Amino acid sequence: MGIVRYTKEHEWIRVEDGVGVVGITKYAQEQLGDIVYVELPEVGAGMTKGAEAAVVESVKAASEIYAPVGGEVTEVNQNLADNPGTVNTDAMGEGWFFKMRIADTDEVDRLMDGVAYQEYVESLS
Amino acid sequence: MNDIQGRDLEQTPLYALHRERGARMVPVAGYEMPVQYQGIIAEHLHTRENAALFDVSHMGQVILRGEDVAAALETLVPGDLQELPVGKARYTVLTNDRGGIIDDLMVTHGGDHLFVILNAACKEKDLAHFEAHIGGRCKIEVLSDRALLALQGPAAVTVLARLAPPCRHMLFMTGATLTLADVPCFVIRSGYTGEDGFEISVPAEEAERLARLLLDEPEVRLAGFGARDSLRLEAGLCLYGNDIDETTTPVEAGLSWAIGKRRRAEGGFPGAAVIARQLAEGVERKRVGLRAEGKIPARAHAPITEPDGAEGGPVIGEVTSGGYGPTVGGPVAMGYVKAGRARAGTPVSLMVRGKALAARVAKLPFVEHRYFKR
């Protein structure tokens, strides 16, 4: 399964063999509400940690999604074009946004693990 | 909506009920209000298909009394109020000297008084305006001890008739005192969704009990401010602060229907000269509906341009409200464009994140109104 790490902006990244799969957390999708469109990055796009990587449009508002670590986009989840609501129903699984080749794995190590993220979310309410 | 965080937020009499039913609360005009319970799309569709209960207790409820109260209020609005029959409600606007809109409001003739409903965010400003200009001619009574519930949707009448059968006979934009669960309530057949429905002014201490009774009916579910906004947008109804404000006139906003015939001729309200000239000679910009191709919603403040080029052409206007319309099944928006570009079908571009979305001016409403007119 690989390791999963989290950002304070509520992205997750699951790392397997130097490739990261990126999405938003269950908490993030709950906060956003019904998602109606996801604007994904171009395959091949390079981005640094914290760069704007995608935009999620909910009924209410548009929200930016940031790259949890630096790297190059290798694949995007085409299924979200027709089924953006998958992010609501399966945020941590089928609702992934894009895959990236990670430039520096040290950046992954500096993100929160599941326990730390859970504590972080609880501190917000 | 984040700009008021940190300030103490007020709560409505239904606050505990909202929490109990899993509402996500957000600040709305200084109040902590439910944005959604189960989800905006589900609540929106339920309202169109069945009936939904909205808490709009943050809105201002005011009674104006006085010998010539209708004539007095007419000095502040372009609506015909002296001709308003007892039991009838009328939508009108408070205007400023430039013909801009200070607030939009609902006025109902209650027999020996006028019952006025004001936008929450404009309450204090409106009351000061009343006090300054007509305070000497009428008594201004703020009903701070009343809640306001909106029961909206095609099943609203069936539900309310179980509590008060006479509500069946009320027409759209009429008001009456109805006894609901032994509580005298003032009820107006109107709303902000484009659907049939009722707005119910109820004493604060009875609001929760009445809301629970209505929610016990199988047709009724709670709906929040998210759905309220997407419903009114599809219905082509203005949101004060977005689509109308002190810089937009009722003529530009497509609200000329709310300017009475006699008032056009006589004037006698702030900005009357500006509005008369606009009615006679036309306006430079108009509020229109906008439908973009594809799925990307254009939100408020997105520039509207001529349709040429990926980066858009010359700017011809601005989106004032926009989002996803669950009943339409795609993005919908409203905004102002140059009058020469306001005809339905006119191709335009909406600029979102630096990209031009192909769109067309569209007829409003996006979803036909289903008011009970006879």
Other beta carbons within 10 angstroms of residue B144's beta carbon come to: 10
Question: Which residues lie closer than 8 Å to A45 by C-beta, 6 or more apart?
Answer: A72, A73
Check: CB of residue A60 under 8 Å from CB of residue B230: no
Are A57 and B35 inside 8 Å of each other by CB?
no
Question: Does residue B343 belong to any structural domain of this protein?
Answer: yes
Question: Does residue B337 belong to any structural domain of this protein?
Answer: yes
Residue B295 near chain A (CB below 8 Å): yes
Query: Total structural domains in chain B?
Result: 1
Residues making up chain A, counted from first to last: 125
Residue A124 near chain B (CB below 8 Å): no
- CA separation for the pair B247, B249 (Å, rounded): 7
Residue B321 near chain A (CB below 8 Å): no
Q: What is the CATH number of the domain that holds B303?
A: 2.40.30.110
- Give me B89's structure tokens: 């409600």
Domain hosting residue B329, numbered range: 284-362
Question: Does residue B278 belong to any structural domain of this protein?
Answer: no
Residue type, B160: L
- Give me A108's structure tokens: 């992954």
Question: Does residue B344 belong to any structural domain of this protein?
Answer: yes
Question: Does residue B121 belong to any structural domain of this protein?
Answer: no
- CA separation for the pair A83, A95 (Å, rounded): 9
Tens-of-pLDDT digits for all 374 residues of chain B? 333 445 689 999 999 999 999 999 999 999 999 999 999 999 999 999 999 999 999 999 999 999 999 999 999 999 999 999 999 999 999 999 999 999 999 999 999 999 999 999 999 999 999 999 999 999 999 999 999 999 999 999 999 999 999 999 999 999 999 999 999 999 999 999 999 999 999 999 999 999 999 999 999 999 999 999 999 999 999 999 999 999 999 999 999 999 999 999 999 999 999 999 999 999 999 999 999 999 999 999 999 999 977 777 899 999 999 999 999 999 999 999 999 999 999 999 999 999 999 999 999 999 999 999 98
Question: Does residue B333 belong to any structural domain of this protein?
Answer: yes
Which residue, B99, B93, B121, is CA-closest to B29?
B121
- CA separation for the pair B134, B77 (Å, rounded): 12
Which residue blocks in B135-266 are alpha helix, DSSP H? 156-163, 204-216, 225-234, 261-266
Q: What is the β-pairing status of strands B347-352 and B303-305? A: antiparallel
Q: How many CA atoms lie within 13 A of B341 on its CB side?
A: 22
Question: Does residue B159 belong to any structural domain of this protein?
Answer: no
- Give me B226's structure tokens: 């998210």
Residue numbers of B between 211 and 240 with CB closer than 8 Å to A: 226, 229-230
Check: CB of residue A51 under 8 Å from CB of residue A66: yes
**B184 preceded by a cis bond (ω within 30 of 0):** no
- Interface pTM (ipTM) of the complex? 0.89
Most B-contacting residue of A60, A63, A65 (CB-CB within 10 A), to test interface: A60
Question: Does residue B23 belong to any structural domain of this protein?
Answer: no
Other beta carbons within 10 angstroms of residue B351's beta carbon come to: 19
Which residue blocks in B88-201 are alpha helix, DSSP H? 123-134, 156-163
- CA separation for the pair B256, B252 (Å, rounded): 8
Q: DSSP states of A8-51 as a string?
A: TTSEEEEEETTEEEEEE-HHHHHHH-SEEEEEPPPTT-EE-TT-
- CA separation for the pair B65, B48 (Å, rounded): 37
Most A-contacting residue of B35, B229, B295 (CB-CB within 10 A), to test interface: B295
Check: CB of residue A52 under 8 Å from CB of residue A66: yes
Check: CB of residue B304 under 8 Å from CB of residue B315: yes
Distance of CA B78 to the CA centre of its chain: 18
Which CATH fold topology does A3-101 show? OB fold (Dihydrolipoamide Acetyltransferase, E2P) (2.40.50)
What residue has token string 């009615």?
Answer: B279
